[in-house]
A and B are shown apart, each in its own frame.
Chain A
Amino acid sequence: MAEEKFIFDSLQDCRTIKDFLASLTDGFDKGSITLSTDEDAIELCPMGLLNFTVKAKKKGNANKLSIKVEWKDSGSGRKCESTGLTVE
């Protein structure tokens, strides 16, 4: 099965990062997060048990905070259950 991928790589200040994170956490509430570029879209359906990893690193003046959420869909390729809205 083809891999679907979405990347958004940018420079932001704390305020806009907060906005982006808020938009993503909304998706956790709804059980659906849609990430799209132009015509390609990935719909993720976070539900059930999810692996949640937070990593932080500091070296000199370089800092890194990574937040990773991993999970497996229970069915294959199905749409998110209608616990929430899909926002596109």
Chain B
Amino acid sequence: MLTFEGLDENFKFIVLEVENQARSTRRFLDEPTRKQHAKITNRDDYIDNLKTIIENKCYSRIHLDKSLDTNQINRIRAIQVMCVNLEKIADYFVNIVKQMRYLDDQSFIKKYDYDDMFDTILDRLGSILDAFRNENMSKALYICKAEPLLDAAYKVHFDRIMNEIGLGRDAQSLITALFIFRYFERVGDALLNIGEAIIFSMLGERIKIEQFEALQQTLSKSGFSDSFADIDFRAIWGTRSGCRIGKVEKRDGEELSPEERKQGSIYKEGSLEKIRKERESINRWRRTFPGLVAEIYGFHEDNGKGAMLVEFLNGCTLDELILSGDDEYVRNALFIFESTVLETWTTTLEKLPVRTNYIGQLMARLDGVLQTHPEFRRMPKHLGDAEVLSSEDLLRRCAELERGLEAPFSVFIHGDFNINNVVYNHEAQQVHYIDLYRSRDFDYIQDASVFLVSNFRMPLFDQQHRERINNVISQFHGFVKGFARQHGDATFQARMAFALARSFYTSTRFELNFGFAKEMYNRSLFLLEKIHQFDDGDWERFALPEDILYY
């Protein structure tokens, strides 16, 4: 641990002082006395002074001590940010205490449960020194989490007070109580800044925890809590820097430093199993293709959940590029993308046949599909003599047929090869893979089909965009056919039919435009029917109806 003479002591004191203020404020709310009031307001002056002393020491140390390295400077900067926020928290407590005099009856505040809020605050204040001194990421994130907790508690009080105001009594006390709880909410904001400062001191860069938290809460409320891995987290980080690639020019002879290249990181949290799996996958990818995937900065496990900080890779996702970039850039990106895919497939190719389970994958996601679109289950039908199988029957029979099919070799696949899981960095002329928790040794047709359908399902219907999407599909499909030919893979068209049927069907669960979802559902059933009707027995002779790929 790095120590700074005097500064560490001062910092420890300000943390302890603010903790004391929190306890004193709690006591005051329980039982207000003049003595306690005076103690809290007087202590605030001491905290203000302490903050000024710490700030001065931070600035002078940074300016005068030229021997400090980046890490040490970052720690000093973190101390400065933390002490500013600690002083704010102390101010909020003083404000809470001062507000109490406006209550008609000082025990009025006891109608509301503030104990949980104090517990949250005291727990976090008590974790600051440990998190900072021992560079404990888990504790730092724990501190950050005070913010959504206090927000949620504030919302409960806010709603209740608003209701009570509506009744027309105790207006002054109710408004005062609202102000008091608002200060608790602001303590949460300051604690978040402190947690982020500790993370900054470890990583040397800022991450945005609060958007993640807000997103997580929204998702939990929407019933998505168990499927974080299916959510596109990048959406919340805003547009990637360098994404407007039309404006990015390679600077001649000027290399970006690693610090410049890293412009942030992504915080991911999810079930322990998924996060662990992603870490394993990233590590395996990095061993063979170091620049292809993000670096992991931090990982921690807590109560069955895993959290990970990964490098935020510059560039834009392929979908962003295809939809907004110039033709020339798109061609260039696809060339680099295909070269990368070819290299990964060729390097990791193992000549051992592998069983596929495309229908099994589809069945596993069927409930999700039917939850969004209950209509996407076909009952058996007859049109005169012509028989139409139910979707269930069709899937069951196709699953049986799939048992007689295998891929002639395996490659290390991405596992969730959606177009938005590929990042293109024009400046570096490189692509990166992200969201890798499903990577495994498997049939390359899995990645190929997911990539093709992720293009197809982009909900853009104007001719210009559609032409562009169709061009990408056509080019990539041509590439896959070439790879299959080159490696003597004679059943790839049949496997592609199974895999496309799977992806079309399962993609509907994320598509709320019913007409478009229906389009994909119908395509899936069409493919399943073609598979079912294929009675040749020799899958090498199966011909994929390629029109299925184009909208």
A: residues with CB less than 8 A from B are: 6, 8-13, 16, 19-20, 22-24, 26-27, 33-38, 41, 87-88
Contacts and interface: CB of A to CB of B under 8 A. Distances in A.
B251 interface: no
B386 A36 contact: no
12 contacts: A9-B522, A10-B388, A11-B525, A13-B526, A13-B545, A16-B529, A23-B383, A26-B384, A34-B382, A34-B384, A36-B382, A88-B382
Contacts of B526: 10-13
B386 A10 contact: no
Interface string B372-385: 00000001111111
A35 B383 contact: yes
A26 B380 contact: no
A31 to B, nearest CB: 12
Contacts of A24: 383-384
Contacts of A34: 382, 384
Given A8-B388, A23-B384, A35-B384, 4 more contacts: A11-B525, A23-B383, A33-B384, A87-B384
Given A13-B545, A37-B380, A37-B381, A20 B386 contact: yes
Interface string B483-527: 000000000000000000000000000000000001100110110
A13 B544 CA distance: 13
Nearest to A24: B384
Interface string B426-460: 00000000000000000000000000000000000
Q: Label chain B's interface by main secondary structure.
A: mixed
Contacts of A41: 382
A57 to B, nearest CB: 18
Nearest to B527: A11
A25 B379 CA distance: 23
Question: 5 closest Cβ contacts across the A-B interface?
Answer: A23-B386, A11-B522, A23-B384, A38-B379, A11-B526
B386 A19 contact: yes
B493 to A, nearest CB: 16
A21 B385 CA distance: 10
Interface residues of B, number: 18
Interface in B332-388: 379-386, 388
A36 B385 contact: no
A52 to B, nearest CB: 18
Contacts of B545: 13
A23 B384 CA distance: 6
A20 B379 CA distance: 17
Nearest to B518: A9
Nearest to A11: B522
A8 B382 CA distance: 9
Nearest to A15: B533
Contacts of B523: 11
Contacts of B390: 38
A87 to B, nearest CB: 5
Contact of A37 (B379, B384, B386, B525): B379
Contact of B380 (A33, A35, A38): A38
A34 B388 CA distance: 13
Contacts of B519: 11
Which of the listed residues A12, A26, A37 has the most CB atoms from chain B within 10 Å of its own CB? A37
A24 B386 CA distance: 8
B543 to A, nearest CB: 12
Contact of A20 (B383, B518, B525): B383
Nearest to B388: A8
A58 B545 CA distance: 24
B467 to A, nearest CB: 11
A41 B381 CA distance: 9
Nearest to A8: B381
Most buried by A among B384, B385, B388: B384
Interface string B268-286: 0000000000000000000
B544 to A, nearest CB: 12
Contacts of A23: 383-386
Interface in B524-550: 525-526, 529, 545
Interface in B280-320: none
Interface string B384-426: 1110101000000000000000000000000000000000000
Given A8-B388, A13-B545, A36 B525 contact: no
A87 B522 CA distance: 27
B300 to A, nearest CB: 48
Contacts of B388: 8, 10
Nearest to B390: A38
Given A13-B545, A37-B379, A38-B379, A27 B522 contact: no
B389 to A, nearest CB: 11
Nearest to B385: A23
A34 B386 CA distance: 10
A48 B262 CA distance: 79
B550 to A, nearest CB: 11
A35 B382 contact: yes
A85 to B, nearest CB: 10
A41 B388 CA distance: 14
